[in-house]
Structure 1
Amino acid sequence: MKILVTGATGLIGKALLPHLNHDEITIISRDPTRAYQLLGHHINAFDSLQSLPNLDQFDVVINLAGEPIMDKRWSEQQKHIIEDSRWNITQQLVDKIKASDTPPHTFISGSAVGIYGNQHNKTIDESFNIEPNNTDFSQQVCYRWEQIALAAQSDKTRVCLLRTGIVLAKQGGALAKMLLPYQCGLGGPIGNGQQYFPWIQLQDMVRGILFLINHNETQGPYNFTAPNPVTNRVFSATLAATLHRPHLLFTPAWVLKFALGESSQLLLDGQRALPNKLQAAGFNFTFPCIEQALKQTLGD
């Protein structure tokens, strides 16, 4: 197959591309030279979608592009960067798909479980009725992101949305940022620790994307979260135990709000999201439980 990928140099993209080595891969990267260094010279790299008048030549488009949402404090400028990095390239892809005579048969586009907002301990799956909240920035970003992507749906192109939880990987992502304090014995729950922590191991994330590519009947939103979400307190205790470190401290909510501002909601809010639709389609998780996932991820 001929596959176009955006966000290929990110955490998920770098893990996914080796599994597509029998396909012809084209990526969009602001820095093609760096992309070749990271991913190898067997791919084609363009610095923008402007190089492509349409997407007739591609069978599948995988859209993983987006500014990391927690790397910087959410100033108004940073919010615009986060929005534009998702919305603009997705709109460009949709426009190119619509301009194609023989468009890609599959468009897989990113999203996140943040689209559900803070649902406390309520169990939710893809059938949950989403009510946009104007005060919830991450929900607004995801909601608009999905609406743009869904405009590519037609009788020639199916659209699959990846409502991703916290992706567990040792090299990169949220877990990598958590490791140092836990390794030093300073880890602990965040806030009251009762907020649910929707997670997925990186290998299952990649396998899930490959599953959607290879199952033509799949379309619409899919929760990319393990079937056993845990509270922040349970996740924190399991991480400390995996690292053989004490679990005595906690981070009060006010400290996070002071340090991170509005973006602290990503750590203090929770979604007890279940991958019901993915499992109903026949996908089996290699790492359904947090203990096993963390041991595998951290090489214990």
Structure 2
Amino acid sequence: MSMRILMAGVSGFLGTRLVDRLTADGHQVTRLVRRAPRTPDERQWNPSAAQLDPAVVADADAVVNLAGAGVGDKRWNDEYRRVIRSSRVDTSTTLAITIAGMSAADRPTVLLNASAVGWYGNTGDRVVEEDSPAGEGFLADVCRVWEAATRPAEDADVRVVRLRTGLPLHRDGGLLKPQLLPFRLGIAGRLGSGRQWLPWISMRDWLDAVALLLARDDLAGPVNVVGPNPVTNAEFTRELARELHRPAIIPIPAVALKIALGGFAHEALTSTRVLPGVLTKAGFTWTHPHLPTALHAALTE
């Protein structure tokens, strides 16, 4: 069934691809932008000032919020930590409060709001699913307030899905893009010990999962949007090197990461062994359940 979807975060790594997918599926997507609108499918808002016209939301059957500054885009200092947090909390709060303040007849039926597997913090070798508590650390704290910001919409009886996204694989961004050049030059290797778990997912499976969560009115709450077979960083390194036909024999010590990445180094070395409990129970079928085929698709499709 075709839906009218209001979407924030449309220009990001995931947002651009999701707009294309939803449009191809026959949905009508209206884009929330902070600048003056340039096309008929754009509407302006200012989440930093909590400004959003309820009439814009009233035109939508569903709202998707993927807004948030990239966690790996810059070195982390106190200022950028504030940007990471506010870019997520301000947008989620503005949408949720606007939705909650509308009449029941005008509210969208569902809010899909981004979150992240950072919720769980460092789990080591321990497996976690959606019912596991929040962990410790900066990203876990961000995820806690990020998800809490959607509560007004949930209290107004709107179905809220919190997308605890892992590491979507695509050559143009995310985890994969910054690794391709050093791997192709043969100067790459595992990060730190390599024993940390990576909750990856192919881009196609991420898009398919979001489409499912939009359509299934029986699914709500946190959903781990990850593949069913997480791997360690050492395994990921071996598979990527094999796919690129390059060696990967130069490990990157933890101390070098801390020099290069600053505060983000801690997160790059975090082990998060996450399983997609909700998606599995919902009968979701992964196109790329295993890393080798997911990497091949990420580099060729």
TM range (shorter): over 0.9
Q: CA RMSD in A?
A: 1.6
Aligned to 2:132: 128
What are the residue-to-residue correspondences of 1:115-154 with 2, within 5 Å? 115-131=119-135, 133=136, 136-154=137-155
Aligned to 2:15: 13
Aligned to 1:215: 216
Query: CA separation of 1:181/1:31 partners in 2, compared to 1, >3 Å: closer, same or farther?
Result: farther
Select the residue among 11, 32, 41 that pairs with 1:43.
41
| Cα contact 2:116–2:165 (8 A) shared by 1 | yes
Aligned partners of 1:288 and 1:85: how far apart in 2? 32
Aligned to 1:231: 232
Aligned partners of 1:204 and 1:117: how far apart in 2? 24
Aligned partners of 1:56 and 1:45: how far apart in 2? 13
Query: CA separation of 1:234/1:64 partners in 2, compared to 1, >3 Å: closer, same or farther?
Result: same
Q: CA deviation at 1:129?
A: 2.6
Select the residue among 105, 111, 117 that pairs with 2:115.
111
What are the residue-to-residue correspondences of 1:183-262 with 2, within 5 Å? 183-262=184-263
Query: TM-score, structure 2 length as denominator?
Result: 0.92
| Cα contact 2:61–2:108 (8 A) shared by 1 | yes
Q: Does 1:274 align with 2:272?
A: no
Aligned partners of 2:40 and 2:293: how far apart in 1? 34
Aligned partners of 1:46 and 1:94: how far apart in 2? 17
**Which residue identity is paired with 2:4?**
K
Percent same amino acid among aligned pairs? 35
Query: CA separation of 1:241/1:87 partners in 2, compared to 1, >3 Å: closer, same or farther?
Result: same
Aligned to 1:57: 59
Query: CA deviation digits over 1:5-64, x for unaligned, max 9?
Result: 00011111111112222222211123466xx6xxxx563342546351352221100000
For structure 2, list consecutive stretches of 5 or more residues without a partner in the other structure.
Answer: none
Aligned to 1:4: 6
- Partner SS state of residue 153, structure 1: helix
Q: CA deviation at 1:251?
A: 0.1
- Partner SS state of residue 277, structure 1: helix
**Which residue identity is paired with 1:259?**
A
Query: TM-score, structure 1 length as denominator?
Result: 0.92
| Cα contact 1:200–1:226 (8 A) shared by 2 | yes
Aligned partners of 2:138 and 2:186: how far apart in 1? 33
- Partner SS state of residue 58, structure 2: coil
Q: CA deviation at 1:270?
A: 1.2
Q: CA deviation at 1:252?
A: 0.3
